[in-house]
Structure 1
Amino acid sequence: MSSQATGNQTSSQAADDYSYGSWYIDEPEGGQELQPEGVVPPCHPRVPPGLLHTCLAVLSILVLLLLAMLVRRRRLWPHCGRGRPGLPSPVDFSAGDKPWTVPAAVFMVLFSSLCLLLPAEDPLPFLTLASPPSPDGETETPRGPWRMLALLYYPALYYPLAACATVGHGAAHLLGSALSWAHFGVQVWQRAECPQAPKVYKYYSLLASLPLLLGLGFLSLWYPVQLVRSFSHGTAAGSEGLQSSYSEEYLRTLLCQKKLESRSRTSKHGFLSQAWICFRHHIYTPQRGFRLPLKLMLSATLTGTAIYQVALLLLVGVVPTIQKVRAGITTDVSYLLAGFGLVLSEDRQEVVELVKHHLWALEVCYILALVLSCSLTFLLLIRSLVTHRANLRALHRGAALELGALPQSLRPSRQAIFCWMSFSAYQTALTCLGLLVQQIIFFLGTTALAFLVFMPMLHGRNLLLLRSLESSWPFWLTLALAVILQNVAAHWVFLETRHGRPELTNQRALSAATFLLFPINVLVGAVVATWRVLLSALYNAVHLGQMDLSLLPQRAATLDPCYHTYCNFLKMEVSQSHPAMTTFCALLLRTQRPRPPTAPQDSLRPGEEEEGMQLLQTKDHTAKGARPRAHRGRARWGLAYTLLHNPALQAFRKTALSGARANGAQP
């Protein structure tokens, strides 16, 4: 009987265990763990990303070596055996006629790759870091030095991709096509296999790589087009050492500007034309004959990319979290609020609806602040381009700008070279930081307005601001009456107009009113001081991304490092890329260069070599005998004037001529 009872007890226990385990029907079999809801499982691609990036790095090194040999063969052909291979330049910043789209695309790809380093576990894609166990049982990985190394790896990786466009040869375009296709194919393959990532947001990696794919896609189309053109024309269009078609066009437009202005003044402008002129003064629109330097175009491209990347990170890092919290609100939130002394309603379901509504309002305020900050940053970017163009054109004419940190001499210096090198990088960093600061300030402002003004007025509850105003209305009314009374008295009592001139009168009453209203004016001054702090903080936050504007007074503008960098950048651009100097040097080279029998279309026609000298001619000399002599005189005078004002040669001249002025005047 005991054995039978024991058997029945065992069978009943087994049945209970079976029935207890049958409740967990969702538990995976085989010891697998169930992924929580909303968590993206790790992706395991068929080809390891480290292998793909290792192949890309090796391919980039091979392309760079081939480009070095190509530069050596083309430029050092007479001494090919004894010469060294030349390292090609990634970007020719001084070329005004070459397209700026390729350097802009490469810089956009580089900056997007650096932005993808933020959520990445492995800073170097071809190196998987091992996590050593810590004493607490957790894994710690020192990734700081590897991230610093990644900041040097990615520029070296994309160096050959940009250098293929500056060599100006069909073989370089072929190498650029192969390299751009490889980069673009690897990125598309990785995004197609693993579109989701567990970091930040499941689609953040895919959305953040859109500028990267756009730049690589453009390069994969641009290089084949240039390859076909090089085969069809025989030689590349960019094989000339010095091209000045842009400079010549700029000078023609500048010299013909007086005629155009005289015609435009005689014609009457309508309302739409005046509105368009006002719009062009504040928004950048292309002008005929003028191009912004390559550095400024790169800065504008990087600014747009930075706006997209920072806005995307701010959006996907906060909004999905707020949505998850709002979806998980239950009736238990009423007990949580009651613990802090907040009783929204006696009905728990109504409390849930109110909390969800407030979270929805918080989400709307965050998105509205993000849209406002991005729009302001973009509009200020376009406005700064107008300022850059105005400053450059004024410096080209020799005008003096009201820039506190700009030196009188436009000679290059060590500090100016450093500022020129770091200008685009500073602009990108300022855009990111400025957008982040604007987002914080605008979010706090919109949240305060929503929860202190609009939401209480809509629901009729929690009227904290209105109650505080109700209790302190004598204070604000007194300040308002004091300000209004002083302004009215200053206009009607203490100021009298005699013989068309304003004169001070009733000085005794003025002194008495000043003495009696001193305590109230102290309170008004406190309010004004608070408003001054808020206004200056808002103004500096909005204009933080502008380098052409100093956030300090003019006498302290030299203490602003970003504004000082901008002034030295203008100094380098004007001293090294002046259109008049470039045009004159190109004309001198064209007169000495033997003309081929079949000149290309962009070369000068016979008789146009002296076009720059003819622009200086004010009288029409009809004497045939005096024409060659006059031409030689004008050419020698132009050469002397150009060499005198060439910043690159001022350091090698005598001291007596270092401070020479126009028309031979000495300081």
Structure 2
Amino acid sequence: MAMAANSSGGMHNAPLDNSFFVDDDLASDWYIYETMEPAAPQDDMFPSVILDCDPTISPRLYHICMAPTSLAVLVGLSLLVKRRRLYQSCWNGVPGLLSPANFLEEEGNRGLVAAVFGILFSSLCVLVLDKDPLPLITHSSQSSREYWKILALLYYPAFYYPLIACATVRHRVSYLLGCLLSWCHCVIHIWQKVDCPQSPKIYRYYSTLSYIPIILCLVLLSLWYPALFIRSFTRQEETLDKEVTGRGYYKKYLKAVLSKRSQKGSSTKIEESLLSRVQTYLRSYVYTPEEGFRIPLKLVLSITMAVVAVYQVALLLLVAVIPTIQIVRAGMTKDVVVLLVQFGLVPSENPSVPGDMEKELNTVKFYLWSLEVCYICSLVLCCLLTCAMLLRTLVMHRNNLKALYQGAVLDVFYKAHILRPSRQAIVCWMSFASFQTAFACLGLLIQQVIFFICSVAFAFLLVIPLQTGTNSYLFKIIQNMWPFWLTLVVAVIVQHLAAHYQFLEQHPLRKELTNRRALYIVTYLLFPINVLVGVLAGVWRMVISGLYNAIHFCQLDISLLNRGVETFDPGYHAYCHYLKIEVSQSHPVMKAFCLLLLQLAKPEGPTGLQPSHVEEGIQLMQSKKTPPSRTRFKQSRARWWLAYTLLNNPSLTACRKTALSDPTANGTQLSPPKP
């Protein structure tokens, strides 16, 4: 890096009238704020100030054209669906447009839904710092800007609604309209950024970098909709329309559950090596797809939005601080260094000679460069830790969902919960993805503050003094207080040795206390020293608690509070209620059972299903026709499988008694009364 080389190699700037000088490289790389008042002329100090750029297609013109188009597409799709519902003979009929996405169903367009949410969230991140939050209204005043921001929070979801609604209709016309809309949005956004890649907002390339997730998501939509449109010609429209959403997944899940067999083998536990334990621990942080299980759509959206939030927040933290540090480093003069030397912030060999400060100037620039390196390293570490925690939370989500699917409520919650919908559970389910996104943003901010302070302390108290050969304040404290630290260390070691050899009597089957009189004497004599040890332990407890909570702040599957008060943790509280809705409404075994009931209700069908076959679940477990000779054996096995699924389905537990008490339950017919 050219700036780092200049700072470490001793950049020379001649001070002129208490003003500061800016490198050509710096001015060409970073945007310099216009609020500064330099003494030198404007042209000399700011050779490349970024001016406002007006693209060929302005944001206002873009929204004026696309907003009515999106509204017309949405109305056209609604009329199309309503007409097909009212006139079933016209175009074979499809379900109505009920929602932008079936969040409680397993459908194949997960990437499309996540892409639209990514566009929506990135647009909201951009408008927070924009002087015109509502693109339809330009040159808004400072007093009315907050009102336009609130209105924009409602405008952008409606603006991008047709992009996600075109996939819900599941028709060729909707796919074609989705292609046209996604192509228009994508081409206009790319055209705007190519036309005006630089902007004066925060950093010259911030606007372009912040729009990268939007452009990537639009490119994904531009490829996804044509693929759906082409696929609609390869499959029969009637089959596509009448297909039950998620049917294939429910069948795969049920087959994976019922095909599990207990592995026979030795029950002796083999001791694992340290390397295998480390590998197992690292694998627990990496989510790998598992056959027969699929993460719910809401979780996919929450993790995707959290990753986009990490990118947007990290980009804002980077461009808001690093340019300022580099501007200060490049504009540092000897007059400022003299002031820093007088305050003792910079060491100097000749503080009485203020005219010769070349070495001190290089030292100050090196310190500023070190601050820059610490900030970037801490930001990279925070992003990696946050992404690792998000991957870890995916693994925990899968384990919790699988446990609740099997009815093991106490394996997830510390006390019994009834898995049924409620008012609070519905509200938490609706806001779960938003909570995950917000917690990821806040967690990254908290981590950046903590790790930046720690990295600066480590660099200036340990690394730089060792590199320059000077004594730091940390070394002076250790040197002056070494008897105190030695006393604490010796006291702790003596207590451990005495507890092991004098106060603990070890027997083959048990351990007992011994020498109790000596134990009481040592406890009394070491009380003052243990108070000082407790102070250090309390500081360590505070540090480790802060680090742990900061790192795991973005995880909603664990509570940052102790059991008994964890309901006061809003993130974990929302997660628990979210699980209740997902398990009670989207249980795969329950959905598979409902599919059987739906097949039974059909008076006719292409396969000619018999009621007994539907009731016994043979169609879920057997793709081929059952031989007549093995019919009774297959029926018995299917009934046992059906009983197994009902016992492990917590959503149907409350209904089993009344259902089984009916003599006609399970296909049993009442015999006619004898005369």
- State TM-score, norm by structure 2: 0.81
**Following superposition of structure 1 onto structure 2, how do residues 455-534 of structure 1 map, counting pairs within 5 Å?**
455-498=464-507, 500-534=509-543
Q: Retained in 1: the 8 A contact 2:116–2:160?
A: yes
Pair 206,262 (structure 1): closer, same or farther in 2 beyond 3 Å: farther
Q: Retained in 2: the 8 A contact 1:404–1:558?
A: no
Q: Retained in 2: the 8 A contact 1:173–1:227?
A: yes
The one of 357, 363, 388 aligned to 2:366: 357
Q: Equivalent residue for 1:425?
A: 434
Residue deviations 1:588-625, cap 9 Å, x none? 3234436666x7xxx999997567258899xxx99979
Q: Retained in 1: the 8 A contact 2:617–2:642?
A: no
Q: Retained in 1: the 8 A contact 2:285–2:388?
A: no
Q: Equivalent residue for 2:18?
A: none
Q: Equivalent residue for 2:151?
A: 149
Which secondary structure state, in structure 2, belongs to the residue aligned with residue 329 of structure 1?
A: coil
Q: Retained in 2: the 8 A contact 1:105–1:218?
A: yes
**Following superposition of structure 1 onto structure 2, how do residues 138-177 of structure 1 map, counting pairs within 5 Å?**
140-177=142-179
Q: Equivalent residue for 1:453?
A: 462
Residue deviations 1:464-486, cap 9 Å, x none? 11011111112111111111111
Note the C-alpha offset of 1:241: 3.8
Which segments of 5 or more consecutive residues in structure 2 lack a partner in the other structure? 1-40, 351-355, 662-675
Pair 178,262 (structure 1): closer, same or farther in 2 beyond 3 Å: farther
Residue 110 (structure 2) pairs with residue 108 (structure 1): no
Residue deviations 1:348-372, cap 9 Å, x none? 1111111111111111111110111
The one of 198, 203, 206 aligned to 1:204: 206
Which whole-Å CA distance do the structure 2 matches of 1:406 and 1:470 have between them? 53
The amino acid across from 1:507 in the alignment is R
Pair 414,654 (structure 1): closer, same or farther in 2 beyond 3 Å: farther
Residue 309 (structure 2) pairs with residue 300 (structure 1): no
The one of 321, 338, 344 aligned to 2:348: 344
Which whole-Å CA distance do the structure 2 matches of 1:509 and 1:315 have between them? 60
**Following superposition of structure 1 onto structure 2, how do residues 473-622 of structure 1 map, counting pairs within 5 Å?**
473-498=482-507, 500-593=509-602, 609=614, 612-613=617-618
Which whole-Å CA distance do the structure 2 matches of 1:505 and 1:644 have between them? 55
Between 1:351-360 and 1:439-448, the stretch displaced more is: 351-360
Which secondary structure state, in structure 2, belongs to the residue aligned with residue 496 of structure 1?
A: strand
Query: RMSD between aligned alpha carbons?
Result: 3.8
Which segments of 5 or more consecutive residues in structure 1 lack a partner in the other structure? 1-31, 132-139, 658-667
The amino acid across from 1:495 in the alignment is L
Which whole-Å CA distance do the structure 2 matches of 1:48 and 1:458 have between them? 53
Q: Retained in 2: the 8 A contact 1:283–1:383?
A: yes
Q: Equivalent residue for 2:49?
A: 39
Q: Equivalent residue for 1:55?
A: 65
Which one has a bigger Cα radius of gyration? 1
Q: How many equivalent residue pairs? A: 606
Q: Retained in 2: the 8 A contact 1:438–1:542?
A: yes
Note the C-alpha offset of 1:400: 2.3
Pair 404,202 (structure 1): closer, same or farther in 2 beyond 3 Å: same
Q: Retained in 2: the 8 A contact 1:405–1:567?
A: no
Q: Retained in 2: the 8 A contact 1:67–1:88?
A: no
Residue deviations 1:108-139, cap 9 Å, x none? 111111111132110001111344xxxxxxxx
Note the C-alpha offset of 1:75: 2.5
Which whole-Å CA distance do the structure 2 matches of 1:616 and 1:43 have between them? 63
Q: Retained in 2: the 8 A contact 1:242–1:586?
A: no
The one of 108, 125, 136 aligned to 1:126: 136
Which whole-Å CA distance do the structure 2 matches of 1:349 and 1:576 have between them? 72
Note the C-alpha offset of 1:238: 5.9
Note the C-alpha offset of 1:216: 0.6
Q: Equivalent residue for 2:317?
A: 314
The amino acid across from 1:399 in the alignment is A
Q: Retained in 2: the 8 A contact 1:124–1:147?
A: yes
Q: Equivalent residue for 1:381?
A: 390
Residue deviations 1:364-392, cap 9 Å, x none? 11111011111111111111111110111
The amino acid across from 2:348 in the alignment is L
The amino acid across from 2:310 in the alignment is I
Q: Equivalent residue for 2:665?
A: none
Between 1:604-613 and 1:480-489, the stretch displaced more is: 604-613
The one of 56, 60, 78 aligned to 1:68: 78
Between 1:342-351 and 1:353-362, the stretch displaced more is: 342-351
Which whole-Å CA distance do the structure 2 matches of 1:503 and 1:69 have between them? 82
Residue deviations 1:441-474, cap 9 Å, x none? 0000000010011111211235211011111112
Q: Retained in 1: the 8 A contact 2:419–2:651?
A: no
Which whole-Å CA distance do the structure 1 matches of 2:600 and 2:544 have between them? 60
